[in-house]
């Protein structure tokens, strides 16, 4: 979980879009605050949102690659 939170915060520093910056920061904050019981559901929602973001957003190569890495982390946890 720590890796995912760190990746989200790193993305907030990489992105050039204020809405995505706030999205990444908000996701990191919610993952910090949520109980372990609710983390899985929250991660499912974030995974879905990030997939949509990749499909429909214009982002730089660095941000795109980092989101892709983050999705791989989510996938390993969600689809064991």
Count structural domains, the chain.
Answer: 1
- Range(s) of the domain holding residue 24: 2-78
Radius of gyration of the chain (CA): 12
pLDDT digits (tens, 9 = 90+) for 21-41: 999 999 999 999 998 889 999
pLDDT digits (tens, 9 = 90+) for 38-79: 999 999 999 999 999 999 999 999 999 999 999 999 999 999
3-state secondary structure the chain: CHHHHHHHHHHHHHCCCHHHHHHHHHHHHHHHHCCHHHHHHHHHHHHHHHHHHHHHCCCCHHHHHHHHHHHHHHHHHHCC
Per-residue pLDDT averaged across 5-29, rounded? Answer: 97
pLDDT for position 35: 86
Asked if the model's pLDDT at residue 1 lies above 90, the reply is no
């Amino acid at each position: 979980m720590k890796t995912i939170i760190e990746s989200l915060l790193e993305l907030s520093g990489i992105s050039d879009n204020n809405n995505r910056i706030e999205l990444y920061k908000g996701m990191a904050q919610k993952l910090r605050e949520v109980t372990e019981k609710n983390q899985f559901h929250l991660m499912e929602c974030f995974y879905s949102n990030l997939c949509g973001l990749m499909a429909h957003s214009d982002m730089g190569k660095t941000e795109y690659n980092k989101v892709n890495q983050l999705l791989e982390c989510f996938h390993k946890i969600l689809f064991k």
